Amino acid sequence: MQKAAKIRLLALDVDGVLTDGRLYFAEDGQELKTFDTQDGHGIKILQQSGVICAIITGRNTKLVERRTKNLGITHLLQGREDKLVALRELSAELGIALDNMAYVGDDWPDLPAIRAAGLGVAVANAHNELHTHADYVTRLEGGRGAVREVCDLLLKAQHKYDAALAPYLEH
């Protein structure tokens, strides 16, 4: 909770974190992904609380671009195999120290960013090696509420959870 209290930017991998990691391809070559709506709502609430959200992914798809736009995420780094380099670029661009960043991943390409971030997070169904190096391992799986769990953790650690929930309890 102490590390989570300092986070100003949450960076997320896509496949295996925002999705269940499965890739669906139609006959015509179209790629399909499933996103969890609770993850999306958590991202929106977290951004409203003042935490910046970013996506760093090794793949490059219009689908992720559209999902990012729908969630109001302005920092999208696609086609980035080296997640740590991308995280450092965000740090330099936004003037936010790595210690004030959280990174959520699920597989080996995410390890350097997880280890460098102030709060390194592995989703429950991440490769075991990530569990060893992460500061926090979610109870929920990638694409199935893990990102929402991280958003709620950050909101609670920063004492913003109750204020975010209040408007939904007024009716």
pLDDT tens, 46-104?
Answer: 999 999 999 999 989 888 999 999 999 999 999 999 999 999 999 999 999 999 999 99
In three-state secondary structure terms, 34 is coil
| Nearest alpha-carbon partner for 108 in 86, 80, 133, 88 | 133
Neighbouring residues of 87: CB distance < 8 A, sequence distance ≥ 6: 11, 56, 98, 101, 103, 113, 116, 117
Q: What is the largest CA-CA distance in the chain?
A: 49
Domains and CATH numbers, the chain: 2-169 (3.40.50.1000)
Total-model pTM: 0.94
Neighbouring residues of 65: CB distance < 8 A, sequence distance ≥ 6: 76, 78
